[in-house]
Amino acid sequence: MDYKGKLIVFEGIDGSGKTTLCREVFKVLVSQGKSCISTFEPTNGKWGKLLRKSFSAKRLNPKEELELFIKDRKEHVKELIIPSMVEGKIVLCDRYYLSTMAYQGARGIDVYKIKKENEAFAPLPNMAFILHIDVREALRRISEKRGDKLNSFERYDYLRRVAEIFDSFNFPWIKRLDASLPKEILVKKVINIIDKLDC
């Protein structure tokens, strides 16, 4: 189905800077007078809260975790993403189903089975920006710059597998970005690409 609005997603391993980039791009689009919203996954809804709680506690098994991601995304798509796109808004989303493919795929679930299950209800992004960063640098950013304690997702061997899955994606709506570039340059690159989508 075609929507008047656009769905732009920001992906990458933890510590890649995607959240910051999403936030800064949103500020620029708003300053340009564009009608847009910024959102994220997991959400702060019922299922998203259960997921977030599990990240810092005992991690759910892969199947349980995937089921919660699917439930959370179905609710997000139905209640926010599709209605906003129908209204003609640009939807900026910090993580979407590519993250589920990469993170749950790294736990042994078939990546393309995850893709098929999501695309049965979730609209394809008009553009997905994947920020590429060395895993050790990403972990350094998390622990030193953010001062955060690493959660169950943020372990070197696991994140390396996640990064490898992200690297394997070759969908036509993906644009890879070098996460080591200055924030201002990344924002400019993203805005230039969004402008070409005729938003």
Q: How far apart are CA 173 and CA 183, in angstroms?
A: 22
Q: Which domain holds residue 150?
A: 6-191
Per the structure, the count of domains in the chain is 1
What is the pLDDT of the chain when averaged over all its residues?
Answer: 92
- Residue 199 inside a domain? The answer is no
CA 106 to each of CA 7, 36, 77, 117, 166: distance values in angstroms, whole numbers, following the listed order: 25, 32, 24, 17, 10
Name the pTM for this structure.
Answer: 0.92
Convert the pLDDT of each residue in 83-131 to its tens digit: 999 999 999 999 999 999 999 999 999 999 999 999 999 999 999 999 9
Query: Does any domain span residue 136?
Result: yes
pLDDT of residue 33: 96
User: Phi and psi for 40 in degrees, rounded to 5?
Assistant: -155, 160
Query: Stretch 147-164: mean pLDDT, rounded?
Result: 76
Q: Residue 197 falls within a domain, yes or no?
A: no
Residue 91 falls within a domain, yes or no?
yes
Q: How confident is the model at residue 154 (pLDDT cuts 50, 70, 90)?
A: low
Taking CB atoms within 8 Å and a gap of at least 24, the contacts of 147-155 are: 151/55, 151/56, 152/54, 152/55, 152/56, 152/59, 153/14, 153/55, 153/103, 154/14, 154/15
In a domain? residue 180: yes
Chain segment 22-72, per-residue pLDDT in tens: 999 999 999 999 999 999 999 999 999 999 888 777 788 999 999 999 999
pLDDT at 147 (0 to 100): 59
Q: Using DSSP, state whether 114 is helix, strand or coil.
A: helix
Q: Which helix (H) or strand (E) holds 127?
A: strand 127-132
The first and second tokens of residue 69, run together, are 């991601």
- The pLDDT of residue 87 is 96
Residue 131 sits in a domain of what CATH number? 3.40.50.300
- pLDDT of residue 166 exceeding 80, the answer is yes
Is 198 within the bounds of a domain?
no
For residue 12, being part of any structural domain is answered with yes
Tens-place pLDDT, residues 64-93: 999 999 999 999 999 999 999 999 999 999
pLDDT given at position 140:
87
